[in-house]
Chain A
Amino acid sequence: MNTDVEFLDQQRMKFLKWYLIGFAIFMVLMLTRHFFRLGGLNSQPIGNAVLVGLLLTLVLQVICVTRSALLERDIHRDPRLEVALNNELVKSLVTQSWIAAYIGASAMSLFFAITWSFYPICDPVTIALSTIIAGAGASRAYFYFRYKTS
């Protein structure tokens, strides 16, 4: 394993960047699919295209999360790397990112609550999953942008 801290830090941010790209597209497509269903468009070619895009972005997220987790495991195994890469700045941002997760999940719940006033939403699983995914994404996005700009 490469023990160059600069390289590992860049790798970590690279996985996070691609995860966020996948997350952003996934959220847009998931909401598109939700509204397509209301209009009966999901069985149309455009609906299938959205589904394919949804699955591809999901695969991208899974790959990034898995590779990120493997990298974190390697970092945890080496005390020197752990101190070098998971320093106070990182720990502080991780703690702060929980607030972003809460705001993201709340915003998504609010969005569905408002949407419910205009359209019938009869899929609690979609709402629950969207809220969790939005919270996780907001948390990771907060960490990424704060770390990048610090």
Chain B
Amino acid sequence: MREMPLKNKIKVYRAINDWTQEELAKRVYVTRKTINTVENGKFIPSAYLALKIARAFGVTVEDVFQIDDGIPTDE
């Protein structure tokens, strides 16, 4: 399967908060499958969903999602 150019740290933040995928899904109000597919990079979430996931963790979207297309950023 083709790799998505969007990396995420959902698993890391879930581990920090000690949440299961199901728990995060309940907080974000989506299905567990949605969280699973986003976490595994099977599909790119909408901006709305990305914001909701980031808000659930209490961090910014950039903390959770990073573009990984090989182009260096300014940072």
A residues bordering B, Cβ < 8 Å?
5-6, 9, 80, 83-85, 87-89, 92, 147, 150
Are A5 and B46 within 8 A (Cβ)? no
The smallest C-beta distance from A83 to any residue of chain B, in angstroms, reads: 7
Cβ-neighbour of B29 out of A84, A88, A92 (below 8 A):
A84
Contacts known (A6-B25, A150-B37); A87 close to B32, Cβ less than 8 A: no
- Once bound together, how far apart are the Cα atoms of A84 and B53, in whole Å? 12
Chain B residues with Cβ below 8 Å from A5 are: 25, 29-31
Instruction: Produce 1/0 per residue, B35-75, CB < 8 A to A.
Output: 00100001111101100000000000000000000000000
Contact yes or no, B31 A92, CB < 8 A:
no
Cα–Cα distance between A105 and B73 once the two chains are bound (Å): 48
Q: How far apart are the CA atoms of A147 and B33 in the complex, in Å?
A: 9
* A130–B42 CA distance with the chains assembled, in angstroms: 34
Asked if A88 and B46 sit within 8 Å, CB to CB, the answer is yes
Which B residues are CB-close (under 8 A) to A83?
48-49
Q: How many residues of B contact A (CB 8 A)?
A: 16
**Do B25 and A87 have beta carbons less than 8 Å apart?**
no
Inter-subunit contact B45/A88 (CB<8 Å): yes
Which of the listed residues A80, A89, A147 has the most CB atoms from chain B within 10 Å of its own CB?
A89
Give the interface of B toward A (CB within 8 A).
22, 25, 29-34, 37, 42-46, 48-49
User: 28 A-B residue contacts at CB 8 Å?
Assistant: A5-B25, A5-B29, A5-B30, A5-B31, A6-B22, A6-B25, A6-B31, A6-B32, A9-B31, A80-B29, A83-B48, A83-B49, A84-B30, A84-B31, A87-B34, A87-B46, A88-B43, A88-B44, A88-B45, A88-B46, A88-B49, A89-B34, A89-B37, A89-B42, A89-B43, A92-B43, A147-B33, A150-B43
Closest to B43 in A: A89
- For residue A95, give the distance in angstroms from its CB to the closest CB of chain B: 12
A7 to B75, CA, bound (A): 44
